[in-house]
Amino acid sequence: MYLPESVIICEQGARDGIQTVPEFIPTAKKIELINALSETGAPFIEVASFVNPRVIPQLRDGREVLAGIVKRPGVKYIGVVPNAEGARRAAEAGCDEIGIFFSASDSHNRHNVNMSTEDSIRGLAGVMDISRDAGIPVYAGIATCFGCPYEGDVPPKRVAWAIESVVKMGAYRVVLGDTTGMANPRQVEELMSFLLQRFPDTPINIHIHDNRGMGLACILAALQVGVTRFDSSVGGLGGSPTPGAMGNVCSEDLVHMLHELGVETGMDLDKLIACARIAGELTGRSTHSHVLKAGKRSDLVRSC
Ligand code: ZN
């Protein structure tokens, strides 16, 4: 089995994860989680969102969160923004990287922001200008790359067109979202082989969701064709609008699998599992973590 030697994980729990939690989580608690995540060795951590606070009240304290965390050298702390005004606020708050979002499929994009994908991409120019002036790199998050809940399959050429458009505008990397957990391993293998060949110089993350239990299988398929950048969320927090349903792939389950496969992540799994415990306390819910419940494979029963 071909596997890369090492991969890069982008931790989503503090942003994509808790944005769907209805009860407001106090700023100090968010800071506690992010500081603990910083100690795991995660090289990228999404920490805040600078959208209209009325749209996502849970993340209205982005500025305070960034002011309160202890930034670990080498870690990139990311804020996501919907427009130029958000980019200005993210830059002022001290984000190391800015994320912008739109959907590869028109129907999903229209459903979310009432405009076509093309118009959304054109509208990103203002974010790019502000980020360039502030010297902050931008990534483009492209939703519905592995399937759209309104349209079904999204043609690979359409995903390639979206990537090409945002890279031309100045995005230095892209994140391909499996927004509602529609990816399957064969499709991931085919789409990612095509895209890695087509965009050899653009870092491509995949942001897989586990709504239907295919999350880690999709990641294994991606590893085998050379994908080395993955998004995941501690405790499997967030990523599904259906209460109680699984959304984001769980970070500690992913890191556990990678380490068992001999793929290096640079992350400390025990510290990550401790973060999953914090995440569960923070949200008052049991997490979707397998490893938190079952323990690591290497945790042998010592009394027998
Ligand atoms: Zn997600």
CA of 209 to the centre of ligand 1 (A): 6
Considering the domain boundaries, does residue 244 fall inside one? yes
Task: With respect to residue 262, please indicate whether it lies within any of the assigned structural domains.
Answer: yes
DSSP 8-class letter at 231:
E
- Answer yes or no: is 304 within a domain: no
Average pLDDT score over residue span 242-262: 91
Quick check: is 269 in a domain? yes
Determine the average pLDDT of the residues in 157-170. 98
For residue 181, how far is its CA from the centre of ligand 1 (angstroms)? 9
Helix (H, G, I), strand (E, B) or coil at 90: helix
Residue range of the domain that includes 82: 8-294
20 φ, ψ to 5°?
-95, 0
Beta-carbon contacts of 164 under 8 Å, excluding residues fewer than 6 positions away, are 199
Question: In 16-155, which ranges are continuous DSSP H helix?
Answer: 27-38, 62-68, 84-93, 106-113, 117-123, 125-134
pLDDT of residue 144: 97
What is residue 304's predicted lDDT score, i.e. its pLDDT? 61
Smallest CA-to-CA distance from 146 within 167, 162, 134, 131 is with 162
Hey, what are 222's tokens? 């991606």
CA of 239 to the centre of ligand 1 (A): 4
Across 128-142, 216-230, 288-302, least confident range? 288-302
- How many whole angstroms from 182 Cα to the centroid of ligand 1? 12
What's the predicted TM-score (pTM) here? 0.96
Asked if the structure places residue 302 within a domain, the reply is: no
User: Helices 251-260 and 215-224 meet at what angle, rounded to 10?
Assistant: 40
**Ligand 1 centroid to residue 28 C-alpha, Å:** 23
Does residue 3 fall inside a structural domain?
no
Helix (H) or strand (E) holding 216: helix 215-224
pLDDT above 90 (res 75): yes
Task: Give the separation between CA 155 and CA 168, rounded to whole angstroms.
Answer: 20
In this prediction, residue 15 carries a pLDDT of 93
Position 19 in a domain = yes
Better-predicted residue by pLDDT, 238 or 6? 6
147 Cα–ligand 1 center, Å:
14
> Has residue 300 been placed in a domain?
no
Q: Are 252 and 273 in contact (CB under 8 A)?
A: yes
Cα(244) to centroid of ligand 1, in Å?
Answer: 15
pLDDT for res 246: 80
Three-state DSSP at 81 gives strand
CATH (domain of 92) = 3.20.20.70
Q: How far is the CA of 12 from the centre of ligand 1 (A)?
A: 7
| Total domains in the fold of the chain | 1
